[in-house]
Amino acid sequence: MNVHPNEDALNAYAEGSLTAADAAAIEQHMASCVSCRQFVDEVREILRATADLGLQDPPARAWTRIERAIQLEQADKARADGARADGARAFQASEGEIASGHDHGPAKAGRYRLWLPWLAAAAALVLATVVGLRYAPGRSQTGAPTSQAPDGSAQVSAGDAAQSVEYELRQAEAHYENAIKGLEQIANAEQNALDPRTAATLQKNLAVIDQAISESRAAVRSQPASEPAQQSLIENFKTKIALLQDTVALINEMRKGNEAGAARIVSGLKQKGN
């Protein structure tokens, strides 16, 4: 084979999916072709490196977020069960009272532990950030108002699109600010659970992020259509939320007396600070 095989065939040769005859023809060509040999070596190196890709550990806060969400679900279920039980009790009581003239008294406590109120609030906020905050500049995806053509189809002019982006950005900003406000309240109220050095480091990091938020906000205000400015603002919001989530997760681990869990989070915070 004197003509270069195409890259598709070389790729198939590198991964070993060619028939013996086709592979032999390519080998014959490669014996005298440096560039094709090099191509095959490169594809094989990528395949080798891909096979060696390891697993990545999720950040320590990931379990805390899941745990909170589960606790919230359990609390909701317990409330719902309680409401059902109250209804049933009321029904039974009314029947019993009719039958015997006695009240049945309170039902047994549910089997679900109720979570601390602030933690339930944190879970709600964290869920809100997960469900509601996938804003991506330049990509229309929320319920921004659109105009309709007489036939009912959506008609979006350039001006409408710009308005839509601004509308979405404002919505996203409001979501982020709400989440941040709630998480800040929790973190501030429970800050005495942290040792002073850790608390000081967190405050310093938050101040840096706040500065970045205010700069990117100013950039968005002066150039509302600038995607990099929008992206930067959203990224800074996300960074702040992640740091506040880490703070709440750390407080939670300290309160539980889970030193290993707390150490994992502090280690993650230090890595981010470096």
Binding residues for another protein, how many (CB under 8 A)?
Answer: 36
Residues 231-250 contacting another protein, CB under 8 A: 238
Span interacting with another protein, options 6-14, 146-154, 186-194, 215-223, rule CB under 8 A: 6-14
Contact flag: residue 260 with another protein (CB under 8 A): no
Contact 202, 194 (CB under 8 A): yes
Alpha-carbon span 9 to 23, nearest angstrom: 9
3-class SS letters over 99-122 = HCCCCCCCCCCCCCCCCCHHHHHH
Least separation in angstroms between residue 206's CB and another protein is 19
> 33 or 47, CB closer to another protein?
47
Site string for another protein, 144-183 (x = CB under 8 A): ----------------------------------------
Contact 251, 195 (CB under 8 A): no
Site string for another protein, 108-127 (x = CB under 8 A): ---xx---------------
Contact 142, 165 (CB under 8 A): no
Contact 196, 186 (CB under 8 A): no
Alpha-carbon span 71 to 112, nearest angstrom: 9
Contact flag: residue 45 with another protein (CB under 8 A): yes
Contact flag: residue 74 with another protein (CB under 8 A): yes
Residue 142: DSSP 8-state: S
Least separation in angstroms between residue 157's CB and another protein is 18
| Chosen residue from 46, 107, 109, 156 binding another protein by CB under 8 A | 46
Contact flag: residue 225 with another protein (CB under 8 A): no
Q: Which residues of 112-148 are buried (b: 16+ CB within 10 A; e: fewer)?
A: beebeebbbbbbebbbebeeebebebeeeeeebeeee
Alpha-carbon span 101 to 104, nearest angstrom: 10
Burial-class residue 111 by CB neighbours within 10 Å (0-12, 13-18, 19+): exposed
Least separation in angstroms between residue 28's CB and another protein is 23
Contact flag: residue 228 with another protein (CB under 8 A): no
Alpha-carbon span 32 to 3, nearest angstrom: 11
Asked whether the CA dihedral 66, 69, 71, 74 is positive or negative, the reply is negative
Contact flag: residue 49 with another protein (CB under 8 A): yes
Span interacting with another protein, options 57-65, 96-104, 180-188, 200-208, rule CB under 8 A: 57-65
Least separation in angstroms between residue 214's CB and another protein is 22
> 199 or 212, CB closer to another protein?
212
Span interacting with another protein, options 63-71, 100-108, 167-175, 204-212, rule CB under 8 A: 63-71
Structure token digits, residue 108? 């047994």
Which spans of this chain sit near another protein (rule: CB under 8 A)? 7-8, 11, 42-43, 45-47, 49-50, 52-59, 62-63, 65-67, 69-71, 73-74, 111-112, 130, 134, 136, 139, 141, 238
